Amino acid sequence: MIQMAATRDAYGTTLLELGDENPAVVVLDADLSGSTKTGLFAKKFPERFFNMGIAEANMVCTAAGLAAAGKIPFVSTFAIFAAGRAWEQIRQSVAYPKANVKIVPTHGGITVGEDGASHQSVEDIAIMRAIPNMTVIVPADAVETAAAVRAVASFKGPVYLRLGRNKVPTLFDNSYRFRIGKGKVMADGCDLTFVTTGLMTAQALIASEVLKKEGISARVLHLATIKPLDGDLLLDAALETGAIVTGEEHSIIGGLGGAVAEFLSEHAPTPLVRVGVNDRFGTSGKAEELLKYFGLTHEGLEDAARRVLERKGAR
Amino acid sequence: MHRELIPTLEEKARNLRVSIIKTLHRSQSGHTGGSLSAIDLITALYFHTLRHRPEEPAWEGRDRFVLCKGHAAPAQYVALAESGYFPKEDLMMLRRLGSHLQGHPDSKQTPGVEVCTGSLGQGLSQACGIALGLRLDGGDHRVYALLGDGELQEGQVWEAAMSAAHFRLDTLCAIVDANGLQIDGEVAKVMGVESIADKFHAFGWHVTEIDGHDMGAILAAYAHAATVKGKPTVIVARTVKGKGVSFFENKASYHGVTPSDEELPRALHSLGCLEKL
């Protein structure tokens, strides 16, 4: 039986634990504390929770001020309103001074669902990754999220930790050791590598099983940290399997696919297919429908694998 | 209030104006008008009102100052140097490659600078965050934030104003250096912000309006702000852009222009500085 859990729920419960353990942890939200699950922290630690109202720019800079006063602020809202609305505030007040602020948006990507394009973020990884001093993390499941929230609380400096709305399969068990900047090979293989992040890693594991029946051996490299990129594991994948398919719940421009393309073209040119949202905005629909609609499924990854193998063979 | 301090602080402000002029003449880049309009307000803070230890910039008991109008960095830098945060010779490196005195305040590089500003509209929010954080620790530190009047056109300032009142941040004192001019001309013509006092009042602040070059009024306003409970205070300081250098005064064209070789002696003369260059 596959366990299902939402990364935002793991965030909410882990924040509660951190609140007990570390009095420096404070939390800010912009009128979405029920959705982002920071409401749990708000209830238990009301004096350390600041509902900033629908004013994300002020929220981000207030967090920077709290960090300047020695606090460890976690800042939450939907991804588009954190990364998008407050981009320059994050750049100037958080990243430039290396403020110890953790931007932890929930509702990344298209699985926001019915709210549609205005609330779906398909560009946030790209625009956060472009900022110097910024660390960008997209966990695959609830277990990794809990570990990542703890890791970023201990890490000194700005972090963008992108979470999702919906329940996703739990891939890791409690023995999993999350380390910022380190990827994890989830399945071995020698014909190609799926390099995936967030909820696409679960799809890559299914795709790897399906392809096995066709005699194709697909490695699955999960990169929760998109910046800094784990160049060692990526280079191994390129040199040992000779073909790469990236997968992410994000635009194919500038996110994981973009980061991998940049790395490979400089260090180990390798046939590459990027699976993601193909330079389009999101749209309304149920999360599962939208993933199918945009091809963010194991079938989408399998198609991409066959295409990349054709190119690999043609070399 | 210590009235006997007023002439001393006025003399200090005059010397810092001279320092600003020399620094900006040397760098040939930077913001003259807004540094001169703000220097009396800044002088009163650094040499009277602020609790700080220049020899120990990270002292936990210090009050905090945030220069929201970061382009007036030269005014803060001369006050920091005069206080002893770093050698005065460093001022000659303003805006140079490798200098710790960046074009706009940088907390990573300059001792005594609390946060990074320069992109207008963000400083008051940061000051609110500092005040919230210090309050959590039970301190009585005060937080001062100096804004420009043109800066009030940024919507984020009003988000911050709303939240400061909401959180009853009575340790926060905002100061508006209202010199009435911005890059493209008069604030009133570019995008009017008046009535500044009424706006802050409507947002739930305690409001004081003063002549921002009257040292006695400045000291009194800072002292009064510290007595206000349950709400933040804003001091709307009416100032003159380019104050102290007659031919810079009230000219928007000197917003981001530095004194030329020809203007330097005239500017220093205008400040009553008769020393040989």
Q: What is the mean pLDDT of chain A?
A: 97
Q: Is the pLDDT of residue A314 over 80?
A: no
At residue B3, the pLDDT reads 83
Whole-number percent of chain B with pLDDT over 90? 94
Q: What is the pLDDT of residues A121-165, one digit of tens each?
A: 999 999 999 999 999 999 999 999 999 999 999 999 999 999 999
Please provide the average confidence, as pLDDT, over all residues in chain B: 96
Instruction: With beta carbons less than 8 A apart as the criterion, state whether B233 and B210 touch.
Output: no
Q: Which of B59, B100, B132 to mutate to test the interface with A (most CBs of A within 10 A)?
A: B132
| Alpha-carbon distance A61 to nearest alpha carbon in chain B (angstroms) | 5
Instruction: Specify whether domain A4-169 bears CATH 3.40.190.10.
Output: no
User: Count of CB contacts below 8 A, A vs B?
Assistant: 107
Tens digits of residue pLDDT in A21-59: 999 999 999 999 999 999 999 999 999 999 999 999 999
What are the residue boundaries of the structural domains of chain B, listed by start? 5-270
Taking CA–CA distances from B119, the nearest residue in chain A reads: A92
Closest to B107 measured CA to CA, from B64, B151, B167 = B64
**Location of each CATH 3.40.50.970 domain in chain A:** 4-169
Q: Confidence band (pLDDT; 50, 70, 90) for B255?
A: confident
For residues B171 and A65, the answer to whether their CB atoms sit within 8 Å is no
Residue B235 has pLDDT above 60, yes or no: yes
Say if residue B277's pLDDT is above 80: no
Is the minimum CB–CB distance between B116 and chain A shorter than 8 Å?
A: yes
pLDDT digits 0-9 by tens, B25-78: 999 999 999 999 999 999 999 999 999 999 999 999 999 999 999 999 999 999
Instruction: Verify whether residue A209 is a known catalytic residue.
Output: no
A98 in helix, strand or coil?
coil
| Distance between B74 CA and the closest CA of chain A, angstroms | 19
Chain mean position to CA B80: 12
Residue of A nearest to B160 (CA): A58
Distance (Å) of CA A179 to CA A148, A213, A224, B67, B96: 8, 33, 9, 38, 39
Query: Over the stretch B191-230, which tens digit does the pLDDT of each residue have?
Result: 999 999 999 999 999 999 999 999 999 999 999 999 999 9
Q: Which ipTM was obtained for this model? A: 0.96
- Residue of A17, A21, A56, A214 marked active site: A56
| R_g over Cα of chain B | 17
pLDDT band at B253 (very low <50, low <70, confident <90, very high): confident
The fold of the A184-313 domain, in CATH, is: Rossmann fold (3.40.50)
Residue B190, chain A, CB below 8 Å: the answer is: no
Fold of the domain spanning B5-270: Rossmann fold (3.40.50)
> What angle do helix axes B33-44 and B5-27 make, rounded to 10 degrees?
150
Of A53, A68, A71, the CB nearest to B115: A68
Compute the nearest-CA separation of B272 from chain A (Å): 39
